[in-house]
Structure 1
């Protein structure tokens, strides 16, 4: 926007500067021509006075000598003609009075009319200036004294003046652009810049960002009001989302606690109840993670004294149950390479693997392959399916809360599974990577830091 505004204002400034410079350039050339003409007119008047007596007496030797000396001194040819345009005295030979410029000058001078003002001395033109004065005696024209004035030096002066004018013009244009056009452009675009900065703040999660609409143009004021309304709606939606998750998790804690107490009592009578007790504990952890995901609770402090967790071993234990689930649905689950590697003990491997395998079964296609590898300072839990995969734009959005691919929106789900996985990985300094593998499908990698001093 700023570039477009400058592209429209700068040419306007240049045009105005050129319009103002043209009369100045014409003044420089015309002034130099007039100055040269007036200075040589005085000399022509003097020669006309000196030629009056020789034209009457016919003794022109002295007049010829004066013309030659003047020519040598000022490098300006001089000649005198009578009323019949015959050359009586000259400072150089070969004068042709029938040349157009001389003929016109003699017509006016011998007719007793005032000479015309010479044209402007532009540097790209050439030629001499003709200055003629009548030789008069008692009101009768006897002849004319003519000077052919060189103009090279005056044209050089005009050229220097035009160059100075051009330099001043460029400096003026630069000064106007820097001192006026750019500040005006910034002032005009300031509301849009404020709106752009506010939009970036909203995209970074600062939904309480607002723009000022005071003193703005009606169009910008309406745009600012629309932006503020949009940001308020997003802020309220985010608040309702967090309040819903926080309220739901809070409401679930009480029945889960009560259920755990009852199941603890039953666990003394039935060993099967112990598995239910484990699931209750897992539900409790899920509720805590939902609270953290909504931002309503602070993440619990991990016990730094707990030993690291062997990610490969934890995955293999969890896969025992998932193999039965996949087999019941006639899906193939392949257990790939399992390289031991120590990770933080607070990493919820069961929940992460449950989300990845459930997504692969629902949205992908068999076979589904699970592996644990080392990659430098990271341990990588990888789950690959052979489905349609995701496009490049969708791959960048994997892990965003409530986001779902356009191909899967008709299928059941909340769009929170991978967001929880990403949150769990980030809690131990890890990350989630989604990429298309060779041969098609989708690979979800959970990369967490390797604990180097873990004793395998």
Structure 2
């Protein structure tokens, strides 16, 4: 979001600078040319005044003296400024001109200004010259020489534009430099502004992620930013507190209800057993069905109580030897696996593949977890794997390091799940329609997920090739957690 917001601000800034810079650059070029034009007009007027007597009264001594003065002024003007200047008759032939090879003003770039001067008009608005124009471009000024109200000659000045174009270009470079500094300043201001505006949003995003991953105590700390975002953060904290309170009440209700229902259920099952002793022969099948349903109901209540305890469990993580814990739990389930005809294979860390538990000694692989909770979560996953693996199949268990995490993978040989079922596996009370005849309450994997989430872990599900399901228990590695400082989130209260 910060990149997009900065991009929008910089685009707007570029448009504003372009809207200001282009007119300023144009104005600078026009101002410089106008200055040169005014100077040349003054020079042309002075030369026209000197040319009046020599042309209007060529035979007088004063006219001869002024003619010599005019020649000297034109020569000096050309030598000093490098500008061509001359006095031309009404046919455009040179009367006094320097350089001396300039013989006609009726052709070339001076033709149009010369014709305007013949009409008694002084050229004052030549075409704009730009820095990228041809170096041979000339700025032409023509002024009529008037005697007794008639135009008797024309003064033409052709000025080179190199110096003017260089001066304009220099002004443009200063303008570009100023706009560049303005851009840098604006970028810094925009970054500070976006940081100020988006900091509450960033904090809100982090706290939302924390709450979504089970850290319900996270809150957005009071911070800067616009008043609207501060009010949003305050409203979000109120909402999070209400959600946490509702969830706590729900869990307390589930735990209390499960606990309170166990005693009546136990009494009910005891009465069923007593009644079964008094029933006549032939009713054993009905009594067996009641017992099965009673045991199933008792299992559901136990699972509900376990889920409530798992979700209410606080974080008491410590460094756990994952290899040793997994080896212990696999050994505990070995007897049940053997009874069901399922091979339970355990690959310790850094051991050869398909190594059996009785033949291996696990190497040290530590993760940050609560030992009892991790063991219970692994028990739920192993129970689920053995439940769905047919006789003759195998359940593979391995523990390995994956980047900065430790993963425990349990792969069964059951029928597996399709893509739609994989999206729902682990939800409370959910069971695949294809597995409704298998014992269970649909809460085992939910309990495992709650136990892992409480300590920063996660539970993942992937299909196994060619058949089966792979369940991955992921936990943060203990050595990474020890070397990294505890998270200090700016603007976030945990």
In the superposition, the TM-score normalised over structure 1's length comes to 0.67
Shift in Å, 1:88: 1.1
Match of 1:96 in 2: 104
2:128 is aligned, of 114, 120, 133, to: 120
Shift in Å, 1:10: 2.7
Report matched runs for 1:267-306 at 5 Å. 292-295=309-312
- Residues 186, 107 of structure 1: CA spacing in aligned structure 2 closer, same or farther, 3 A cutoff? same
Match of 2:256 in 1: 247
Cα separation, 1, equivalents of 2:474 and 2:31: 83
Match of 1:111 in 2: 119
Shift in Å, 1:401: 6.8
Does residue 33 of the first structure (1) align with residue 36 of the second (2)? Answer: no
Cα separation, 2, equivalents of 1:232 and 1:407: 37
Shift in Å, 1:20: 1.7
1:197 is aligned, of 193, 201, 206, to: 206
1:161 is aligned, of 151, 154, 171, to: 171
2:334 is aligned, of 301, 312, 316, to: 316
String of CA shifts for 1:39-89, please: whole Å, max 9, x gaps: 233332332233233323265566445433432222111211234433212
Shift in Å, 1:161: 1.0
Match of 2:152 in 1: 142
Cα separation, 2, equivalents of 1:407 and 1:228: 40
- Residues 406, 146 of structure 1: CA spacing in aligned structure 2 closer, same or farther, 3 A cutoff? farther
Cα separation, 2, equivalents of 1:389 and 1:206: 30
Does residue 387 of the first structure (1) align with residue 415 of the second (2)? Answer: yes
Match of 1:356 in 2: 382
Matched residue of 1:216: which SS?
helix
String of CA shifts for 1:147-189, please: whole Å, max 9, x gaps: 111111111110111122122223323323432x445545555
- Residues 406, 170 of structure 1: CA spacing in aligned structure 2 closer, same or farther, 3 A cutoff? farther
String of CA shifts for 1:119-144, please: whole Å, max 9, x gaps: 33311224211223333345443322
Match of 2:17 in 1: 17
Unaligned runs of 5+ in 1: 259-278, 302-306, 324-331, 449-456
Match of 1:418 in 2: 445
2:393 is aligned, of 368, 374, 377, to: 368
Unaligned runs of 5+ in 2: 268-294, 319-323, 346-354, 363-369, 476-494
Are 1:372 and 1:379, in contact at CA under 8 Å, matched by a contact in 2? no
Cα separation, 1, equivalents of 2:198 and 2:37: 55
Shift in Å, 1:4: 3.6
- Residues 145, 248 of structure 1: CA spacing in aligned structure 2 closer, same or farther, 3 A cutoff? same
Report matched runs for 1:396-435 at 5 Å. 402=428, 404=430, 413-420=440-447
Cα separation, 2, equivalents of 1:182 and 1:113: 58
Matched residue of 1:103: which SS?
helix
Match of 1:57 in 2: 58
Are 2:376 and 2:448, in contact at CA under 8 Å, matched by a contact in 1? no
Matched residue of 1:165: which SS?
helix
Cα separation, 1, equivalents of 2:435 and 2:238: 28
Cα separation, 1, equivalents of 2:315 and 2:25: 77
Does residue 170 of the first structure (1) align with residue 180 of the second (2)? Answer: yes
Are 1:50 and 1:63, in contact at CA under 8 Å, matched by a contact in 2? yes
Which is bigger in relative contact order (C-alpha 8 A, separation at least 6)? Answer: 2
Match of 2:467 in 1: 440
Stretch deviating more after TM superposition (87-96 or 133-142): 133-142
Cα separation, 2, equivalents of 1:209 and 1:431: 18
Matched residue of 2:129: which SS?
coil
Match of 1:68 in 2: 75
Match of 1:77 in 2: 84
Matched residue of 2:412: which SS?
strand
- Residues 142, 93 of structure 1: CA spacing in aligned structure 2 closer, same or farther, 3 A cutoff? same
Are 2:313 and 2:454, in contact at CA under 8 Å, matched by a contact in 1? no
Cα separation, 2, equivalents of 1:65 and 1:429: 97
Stretch deviating more after TM superposition (235-244 or 333-342): 333-342
Are 2:415 and 2:467, in contact at CA under 8 Å, matched by a contact in 1? yes
Matched residue of 1:26: which SS?
helix
- Residues 446, 18 of structure 1: CA spacing in aligned structure 2 closer, same or farther, 3 A cutoff? closer
String of CA shifts for 1:201-246, please: whole Å, max 9, x gaps: 31232335566999538xx979986x66864564245313431454
Cα separation, 2, equivalents of 1:355 and 1:136: 112
